[in-house]
Amino acid sequence: MRVAIFASGNGTNFEVLAKHFQSGDIPGELSLLFCNHPDAPVMKRAQRLGIPAESFTVKSCGGKEEYEKQLLQLLKKYQIDFIALAGYLRVVGPTILNQYEHRIVNLHPAWLPEYPGLHSIERAFNDQRKQTGVTVHYIDAGLDSGPIIAQRHVPILPSDTVETLEERVHETEHQLYPEAVKQVLTELEKEN
């Protein structure tokens, strides 16, 4: 299985996954990082780890439809079989979804279906919940609504700030995402 990771920002989850692929812990080959922000720190992480990285923006493509077409061409060029989203802050449209049905997973910093979309950690914190979580799920046409693969709770402690909660959510992401991606790819390899 040839895998692409889509990311938009810093890339800590990208790096965690990349190291699991490089150590052989996750089956398949990490063949591409795609980033929709050419100057994002994740691009430097990919370079440091020796992983091919490509980047372009919706604006540079002249709109979302053309962006998705160019992205699909890129995926075909790299012969990508599977996609993991790691902080990719764009909705994946039908051009990609239709070609990769049940082959795109996402990591979300909340216990879905609670707090879909952006600012999930802050929203859970501000609502004074006793816990939040991390969810790995397949993506579909909805917003963070696809079938759930794995979830783990993260307690919200009385002493927490948004920053300390964020740190614990990220630690949980770094444990859960590689486990879930390994599980999904292992199952896909058995089917093929």
Confidence label for 191 from pLDDT (cuts 50, 70 and 90):
confident
Residue 174 has pLDDT above 80, yes or no: yes
Q: What are the structural domains of the chain?
A: 2-191 (3.40.50.170)
Token duo for residue 182: 């390994």
Residue 192 has pLDDT above 80, yes or no: no
Q: Is residue 93 annotated as involved in ligand binding?
A: no
CA distance linking residue 97 with residue 15, whole number of Å: 24
CA distance linking residue 74 with residue 57, whole number of Å: 13
Percent of the chain clearing pLDDT 70 (strictly above):
100
Q: Is residue 186 annotated as involved in ligand binding?
A: no
Residue type, 82: F
Q: Is residue 117 annotated as involved in ligand binding?
A: no
pLDDT digits (tens, 9 = 90+) for 2-29: 999 999 999 999 999 999 999 999 999 9
Letter string b/e over residues 106-143, b meaning 16 or more CB atoms within 10 A of that residue's CB: bbbbbbbebbeeeebbebbbeeebeebbbbbbbbeeee
pLDDT averaged over the chain?
96
pLDDT digits (tens, 9 = 90+) for 50-104: 999 999 999 999 999 999 999 999 999 999 999 999 999 899 999 999 999 999 9
CA distance linking residue 126 with residue 41, whole number of Å: 29
pLDDT at 39 (0 to 100): 96
Q: Is residue 64 annotated as involved in ligand binding?
A: yes
Number of C-beta neighbours around residue 33 at 10 A: 25
- Alpha helical stretches, state H, 35-141: 41-49, 58-61, 64-77, 94-97, 120-126
Distance of CA 178 to the CA centre of its chain: 11
CA distance linking residue 3 with residue 36, whole number of Å: 17
Mean pLDDT of 101-120: 96
108 labelled catalytic? yes
Number of H helices, E strands in the chain: 7, 7
Annotated catalytic residue within 20, 37, 102, 108: 108
Q: Is residue 36 annotated as involved in ligand binding?
A: no
pLDDT at 135 (0 to 100): 98
